[in-house]
Amino acid sequence: MLSASVLRAQAGQSLLKSRYIRSLPSLAHIRSRRHVTTSTLEAGEDKTGHISCGPNQSILYLDNIYPIQFRWLLRLPFLQLERGINRALTSSAEHFGAKTGNRIDPIGIVRKAIPKDLPIHVTEIIPRLKDGGAFVKFNHDTNISASEIEGTLTTYLAENPVKPLLKSRVHAALVKGRPWLEDLYRFPSPRLRIEFFPTQPGGEAATLSQEDLFTLLRRYGKIADIESQPADSKVLPKYAVVTFRLARYAIMARNCMHGFILVEEAGGGKGGTLLKMTYESVVKAHYIRDWMANHPRILIPLLAALAGAIAVAIFDPIREQFIKLHIEHTFHLEDNRIFKILKGWLTQAGALLALRKQREDIALSAIWDDRQDQIDQIKTWLMETTNTFIVIQGPRGSGKRELVMDEALNTRHNTLVIDCKPIQEARGDSSTIAAAAAQVGYRPVFSWMNSVSSLIDLAAQGTIGVKSGFSETLDSQLEKIFATTAGALKKIALSGRRKDDKDKDMDDDQYLEAHPEYRPVVVIDNFLHKNNERSVIYDKLAQWAARCVTSNVAHIIFLTHDVSFSKALGKSLPDRIFHEISLGDCSPEVAKRYVIRHLDAGVQGDITEGQEKTATPSQHRDDLRELDGSIEILGGRLTDLEYLARRIKSGETPNKAVKEIIDQSASEILKMYIFDAVASRDWTPIQAWYLIKKLATTTPESHGIRYNEVTLASEFSGAKSSPDSVLQALEEAELISILSNNGRPSAIKPGRPVFAAAFKNLLNDKVLTARLDLITLNALIKDESDSITKQEDELQRLASLPGPPGEVTDRVKWLLAKIRTSQLKIQGWEKEQGTLKAILTKDY
């Protein structure tokens, strides 16, 4: 017994089939309408994948019934388009089957494609959505063959073309094989894989030649290529690959020839050969990949050029705009009008911060009053049309940056500050590029791409033998950053120009030369910082600054502590002189005034009864009489004076504050230059201690110690590095400062004025002095012992000569004298060692 659901399903199928039969158009050549059906499934009869044919029955395949251009939609399983299209086919057969010439009605297209006088009886139409066509099963009389019917239909369609959607003509061909109607997720392509099978189990199939395949398949469309299986291939079954010019040719060939049996008489071998065809997907990316692999000499430079073009066309304008915003301080809150208004509404904590800033400004006014001539000179130079550099030279802590930024350029908005210190101290090319870009506002910057492109360039060089051009050196990257910055500076300088100006007839260069007040100002701080490590950065900066100055794009101000700056800048502008200002330490009078103003700034004095004038905090203190002596010891370095003022403000007396500063400086000297030995340093603790002892015995009125005297000392003569490089490294580390005379080093002084007192403090420590002197003597004795060993070796070689000859007598005497001198030195040093060891064993 069948269930009720099965009965209902069978009844529904019968009703659907009867509707399809009623919806077919009446054709004159269809003798019995009740025998005609349409199948809405793509899996064949009863989902077997095949179509059965009885006597006097054949099958035609008609292509271009559906537009195959949209077959990719069938790859989307969640849309279930096959079911929807089959329903649409059913609806089309019901509503539009009677309309002739309808281009969207598949049944009407089949009806129009088959002429009325063709002696056939259509019994079934099976659509193939993936292939874009349909199978038409028909009966015919015995007095006419299926081949004759195919020829008549082909001639008719050639003379009367049927064009459905997308202007594609319908073609028809007789199905000679046994087509496989599968609904797998395999889609047509121009390539067909044809496999050769025997017709009976255990039989042997023939391998068709390219000529035989061409004869069988050329009638379905133009063939582009035929690839036979390699002769040494062990793959079974045997196969061949046929590539058609168009996918519709391959569709027609597969639907008509799949399952075709090539008989023995036609070359199919004993028992015949069965042909089975499947589509092979054509992946276009393989062509691109193969071309890339086969033409690296063309492709890699082309990609490099393309990447450069994209960077120039897309990123450079963006980077230039970011640089402009950085120079114009667009995103700086301090210059924002709204922020300034809100700043006045800050809480008490914010008011305290503002008060602190006010105190510092008032205190610094004492320094600026003394340097007002230099400030005015800088402002005057910025208004001149002369294209030259402005160089502010002075030791660290002398207030170079504050003088320029807070006083000379306080009214200018378009200023760019480039700090060389983070650029020079960056490790690696990528970090250096990122640091340089951050200083000028150059973004986006892909500094990590420099490492990746270097690897690509290295791989390309190993592959094709030459560099690809992907990677760029640090030199070229810095050049690109600074060139983009120069373009932004020029646009800023020309931004105020109007079409109705009186000098509108001038070109850009003439306008910039005539209006120096519109040029932005570039301040290059810490120029020549650690110049002995990498000079390429300073060379690039100097060259770029020279181009900006000579083209009137910007004013350039260098801030440096190095007295030899003229050597680096002279390479860029050899025919120009520099505007130079040298900043030294403050005079004692200015230093005292600075400290007192720092104490009094922003503090309201007490008003006692009967007084009309307010007393300042400095007037309340009796210990400021010590200030003169303290400043004389401390010197006029601005950073040290500020530290002194803060300690006095906290309640310490000037003498105590100076003593604390001296003790702290002495500790820093021991830690930085003597005890914490670093292998990469260019000096030894012995050399630093020698300079400390020599400088501790000099007076403030002296010119320091002689430079050449230091270079001839035993502590420097036996070092691995030259004495000049050692002294230059110590100057860079701020232990000493080297004075020049006529361009040559002449004298050595402490790096900071307070260091002179700190050196004396260290020398007064007997235990420390004994320990460091003992280390020094041990090193000197070792050096002299090594020297004696070398001289003894040479004497031994001379003694081995036959004779010995009289010509070496003087050499022997000289070596003996050297040995005696060295031995006397060692004996004297050993006596000193005994004294020093006694101190170390007695004192703490």
Query: Tens digit of pLDDT for each residue in 334-385?
Result: 555 565 566 555 544 444 444 454 555 566 777 888 888 999 999 999 988 8
What's the CATH number where 640 sits?
1.10.10
Kindly state the helix (H) or strand (E) to which residue 549 belongs, with its residue range: helix 536-550
Do both 276 and 406 map to the same domain?
no
Give the per-residue SS3 of 225-268.
EEEECCCCCCCCCCEEEEEECCHHHHHHHHHHHCCCEECHHHCC
Do both 649 and 725 map to the same domain?
yes
Residues in Cβ contact with 731 at an 8 Å cutoff, skipping those fewer than 6 apart:
737, 738, 751
- Burial 384-405, CB ≥16 within 10 A → b, else e: eeebbbbbbbbbebbbbeebbb
Q: Judge contact between 414 and 492, C-beta under 8 A.
A: yes
Q: Note the pLDDT of residue 622.
A: 76
Do both 424 and 565 map to the same domain?
yes
Do both 429 and 540 map to the same domain?
yes
DSSP state letters, 654-673: HHHHHHHHHHHHHHHHIIII
Parent domain of 249: 188-282
Q: In the chain, how many domains are there?
A: 5
In a domain, 252, yes or no: yes
Closest CA to 825 of 782, 769, 767: 782
Do both 252 and 336 map to the same domain?
no
In a domain, 503, yes or no: yes
d(CA 235, CA 227): 15
Of the CA atoms within 13 Å of residue 396, those in its CB half-sphere come to 15
End-of-domain residue from the set 182, 205, 220: 182
pLDDT in tens, 73-110: 655 665 555 555 555 554 444 443 344 445 556 778 88
In a domain, 626, yes or no: yes
- How sure is the predictor about 173, in pLDDT bands with cuts at 50, 70 and 90? very high
Q: Note the pLDDT of residue 338.
A: 65
Do both 775 and 759 map to the same domain?
no
Do both 733 and 807 map to the same domain?
no
End-of-domain residue from the set 560, 582, 604: 582
End-of-domain residue from the set 764, 786, 814: 764
What's the CATH number where 212 sits?
3.30.70.330
Do both 734 and 626 map to the same domain?
yes
d(CA 777, CA 762): 18
What's the CATH number where 492 sits?
3.40.50.300
d(CA 690, CA 716): 9
In a domain, 606, yes or no: no
What is the pLDDT of the chain when averaged over all its residues? 81
In a domain, 311, yes or no: no
What Å distances lie between residue 810 and 529, 805, 814, 816, CA to CA? Answer: 51, 11, 6, 10
Do both 98 and 240 map to the same domain?
no
Q: What is the layout of strands, in order, in the sheet containing 172-174?
A: 37-38, 120-128, 133-140, 57-62, 172-174
pLDDT in tens, 653-681: 999 999 999 999 999 999 999 887 555 67
Do both 394 and 483 map to the same domain?
yes
In a domain, 612, yes or no: no
In a domain, 294, yes or no: no
In a domain, 604, yes or no: no
What Å distances lie between residue 511 and 211, 434, 517, 519, CA to CA? Answer: 81, 34, 11, 10
Q: Judge contact between 534 and 473, C-beta under 8 A.
A: no
Q: Judge contact between 587 and 637, C-beta under 8 A.
A: no
pLDDT in tens, 810-836: 999 999 999 999 999 999 999 999 999
d(CA 480, CA 446): 13
Q: Note the pLDDT of residue 353.
A: 46
Give the per-residue SS3 of 480-528.
HHHHHHHHHHHHHHHCCCCCCCCCCCCCHHHHHHHCHHHCCEEEEEEEC
Do both 137 and 157 map to the same domain?
yes
Do both 660 and 521 map to the same domain?
no
Coil, strand or helix at 115: coil
pTM of the entire structure? Answer: 0.62
